[in-house]
Structure 1
């Protein structure tokens, strides 16, 4: 079922990183605005819609903002895509791209990117000595590539305030993935290197995100999708008003 009011949507994941190969899924991420009136009812609208064929995740605007303010690497990709990877780009979506640095803060970016990279390493570590099925080996190599990418992109964002999604040398990432698929512990030196690099680097990001700018954008979204006619329709046919005293 189509999701209305999509503000921004594009192709993310391995295609955006330049790491896709034959058979890779094409992942899409976007955000939409719920009708403002629906946010005030007994049953709030769904905050996320996830589908397959095509693989697409859409978050409601407020949820996406919360994820991005928390430094979520997957959510953050959406506002740093190359122009050619956007499939839906509205005026409000462009405004969001324009305030993308407002979501950034040093501690949240460091904790989120290193945290996700560490999760990837734990997955690798749990797979033992590499003596597993071909399918598990492929997934292990994929997790290793993500670990390396998260570390590199996170440090770039932390030290420059900018995020480049497409990696410079895809072959290097694929070779790293194959090494780690053979020996998962081969990922540990890279993780330790980036932990030290984050610790020694000077952050280019503020201590706190600019929530005022984010809130102002979200208010513009709510105003845009507010239909005052719906409220008037709710009063139609009610006759004259009767004011009862509070008891």
Structure 2
């Protein structure tokens, strides 16, 4: 088990309300490596991935870099409904408290439309719908996530709030089934429509994220995970003396 987990919860289809009977439960988290580990020859591991359960945990600095880049998958952890969090420490609460500091208009637009375009390219590569049942299921999944990314991204861009639990999940399920039945043009039309909506929307987000706020949080993480004996040596205090 990963030590020093700061924040962790259930993400993905379960969080959105799009999970089916065969869907995996995906978990995402942030952990803090011991501060002294960054000063040796071998840097600490930045990402730990396990299966059964499917869990990805990023070290705090990597998590911050990914979130500052607008990564939708990483960012959603900070916006989960309360009941989906499984670990929530004081430093994790601080991370939730500065979640808006990671946002900027261009990066949100580029990241969400970019991820949606990746889903569309996968759909395009599959042709007219004359494929196996398994491929059809995957096609429906990619289509659902295309529409979800467009929907979430535009809402975040325009309001500064990320909707995780979708208000009308059936809309996305129906869309996925139509596209999986061979209606690739529906997906193309929705992509074009959302690009136009982004162009027309006035974003409430800043031009640049608040890197200073993110850096201050990361420094608090590093201070909190500095071994007491290392801190004493750094301050020139004898190991046996008071901290």
- More deviation in 80-89 or 164-173? 164-173
Q: Does 1:106 align with 2:89?
A: no
Quote the Cα distance in structure 2 between the aligned partners of 1:5 and 1:62: 14
Quote the Cα distance in structure 2 between the aligned partners of 1:196 and 1:101: 25
Q: Which residue of 2 aligns with 1:217?
A: 217
Unaligned runs of 5+ in 1: 236-247
- More deviation in 96-105 or 175-184? 175-184
Return the index of the structure with the highest Cα Rg.
1
Aligned residues: 236
Measure how far apart 1:222 and its partner are.
0.2
Q: Does 1:199 align with 2:199?
A: yes
Measure how far apart 1:57 and its partner are.
0.2
Q: Name the Cα RMSD after superposition.
A: 1.7
Q: Does 1:78 align with 2:67?
A: no
Any conservation in 2 of the 1:125–1:185 contact (CA below 8 Å)?
no
Quote the Cα distance in structure 2 between the aligned partners of 1:191 and 1:66: 27
Quote the Cα distance in structure 2 between the aligned partners of 1:233 and 1:118: 52
Spell out the pairing of 1:16-95 with structure 2 (5 A cutoff): 16-95=15-94
Q: Which residue of 2 aligns with 1:153?
A: 152
Measure how far apart 1:167 and its partner are.
1.1
Spell out the pairing of 1:168-187 with structure 2 (5 A cutoff): 168-183=167-182, 184-187=184-187
Measure how far apart 1:233 and its partner are.
7.8
Quote the Cα distance in structure 2 between the aligned partners of 1:49 and 1:124: 30
Quote the Cα distance in structure 1 between the aligned partners of 2:101 and 2:19: 30
Q: Which residue of 2 aligns with 1:238?
A: none
- More deviation in 222-231 or 172-181? 222-231
Any conservation in 2 of the 1:109–1:158 contact (CA below 8 Å)?
yes
Q: Which residue of 1 aligns with 2:137?
A: 138
Paired residue secondary structure (1:25): coil
CA deviations 1:161-204 (Å, max 9, x no partner) are 00111112111111100111112232001000000000111011
Quote the Cα distance in structure 1 between the aligned partners of 2:170 and 2:102: 32
Quote the Cα distance in structure 1 between the aligned partners of 2:104 and 2:232: 43
TM-score of the pair, normalised by structure 1: 0.92
Any conservation in 2 of the 1:161–1:204 contact (CA below 8 Å)?
yes
- More deviation in 169-178 or 94-103? 169-178
Quote the Cα distance in structure 1 between the aligned partners of 2:66 and 2:135: 30
Unaligned runs of 5+ in 2: 237-243
- More deviation in 118-127 or 182-191? 182-191
